[in-house]
């Protein structure tokens, strides 16, 4: 195991015809995989994929905030999120995710009362669902794989409250495809979270300051496939087997070898994923 892809979506229809080949490519590169669900159905699919490959493929289960609309969630719907609890007992489920907050497409200012009220309901509902997943993480002792766009302040406030009542994690989880600034990154570090970067790092000077300043003990890498394909394969769908290219980009910015990044990020990922078997 040279690398751990901490965040990918092998349940995507784009892999239906050749998933075995994609997984074999990853194995050839020494990449272990954590594939994530974005709702209950895709979370079940992620578990099925992990079961299909006995070695090197694991699952996380969650509900992406973009799946949450403006209709007020009835109490029974919120309780149904607890239906994820059954999946969380599976030995190949190593985390809760993808979950979090995403206010990117919500208007911050509008004169339209109906539009503003809808946006407010979506924010409230996302927070309710995220709060339930925080509860599940505490109940099952599993880390979080978090999605956050244009909502870092709100997410940090919720995590800071949750942190006061949560113990027993070597690392509480990962902020995937981190999009914040250095000040925000430090606040996540203070809460024992790590940040993750993708192949977008290979496309230019994106996040250079954060890559230089972040402690080596706080960085992990991911493909986020089928998205975020690194250079030179940008015209293709992404795959976990391209993860070494992300490590090379991180190494170039930090002025170290890609082998060092491989060693450090794999060790960090293993701190997050306590259920992944340790190399013998």
Q: For residue range 175-228, what is the model confidence (pLDDT) as tens digits?
A: 999 999 999 999 999 999 999 999 999 998 678 899 999 999 999 999 999 999
- List, for residues 70-126, the tens digit of each pLDDT value: 776 655 566 567 678 899 999 999 999 999 999 988 877 667 777 888 888 899 999
Could you list the residue range(s) of the whole structural domain that residue 65 is in? Answer: 3-272
Examine residue 20 and state whether it is found in any structural domain, yes or no. yes
Block residue for tokens 């795959």: 239
CATH classification of the domain holding 198: 3.20.20.140
| Residues in the chain, overall count | 280
Residue 279 lies in a domain: no
- Strand-strand pairing, 57-61 and 93-102: parallel
Mean pLDDT of 259-278: 96
Distance of CA 49 to the CA centre of its chain: 17
**Does residue 239 fall inside a structural domain?**
yes
- Mapped onto helix, strand or coil, the DSSP state of residue 104 is coil
Residue 278 lies in a domain: no
Q: Is residue 280 part of a domain?
A: no
Closest listed residue to residue 181, CA positions, set 157, 155, 213, 133: 213
Residue 88 lies in a domain: yes
Q: Does some domain include residue 223?
A: yes
Residue 277 lies in a domain: no
Instruction: Give the C-alpha separation, 40 to 129, whole Å.
Output: 13
- The reported pTM is 0.94
How many structural domains compose the chain? 1
């Amino acid at each position: 195991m040279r690398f751990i892809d901490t965040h990918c979506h092998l349940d995507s229809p784009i892999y239906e015809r050749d998933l075995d080949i994609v997984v074999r490519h990853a194995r050839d590169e020494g990449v272990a995989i954590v594939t994530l669900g974005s709702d209950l159905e895709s979370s079940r699919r992620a578990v099925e994929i992990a079961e299909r490959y006995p070695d090197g493929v694991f699952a996380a289960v969650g509900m992406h905030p973009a799946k949450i609309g403006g209709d007020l969630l009835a109490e029974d719907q919120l309780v149904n999120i607890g239906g994820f609890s059954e999946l969380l007992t599976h030995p190949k489920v190593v985390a809760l995710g993808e979950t979090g907050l995403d206010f990117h497409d919500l208007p911050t200012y509008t004169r339209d009362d109906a539009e503003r009220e809808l946006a407010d309901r979506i924010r409230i509902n996302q927070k309710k669902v995220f709060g339930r997943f925080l509860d599940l993480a505490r109940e099952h002792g599993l880390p979080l794989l978090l999605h956050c766009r244009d909502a870092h302040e709100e997410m940090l406030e919720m995590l800071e409250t949750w942190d006061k009542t949560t113990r027993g994690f070597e690392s509480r989880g990962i902020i995937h495809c981190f999009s914040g600034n250095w000040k925000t990154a430090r606040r996540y570090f203070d809460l024992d979270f790590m940040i993750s970067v993708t192949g977008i790092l290979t496309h230019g000077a994106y996040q250079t300051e954060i890559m230089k300043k972040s402690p080596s003990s706080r960085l992990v890498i991911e493909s986020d496939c089928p998205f975020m394909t690194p250079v030179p394969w940008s015209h293709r769908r992404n795959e976990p087997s391209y993860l070494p290219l992300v490590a090379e980009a991180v190494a170039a910015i930090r002025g170290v070898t890609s082998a060092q990044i491989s060693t450090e990020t794999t060790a960090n990922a293993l701190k997050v994923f306590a259920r992944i078997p340790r190399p013998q």
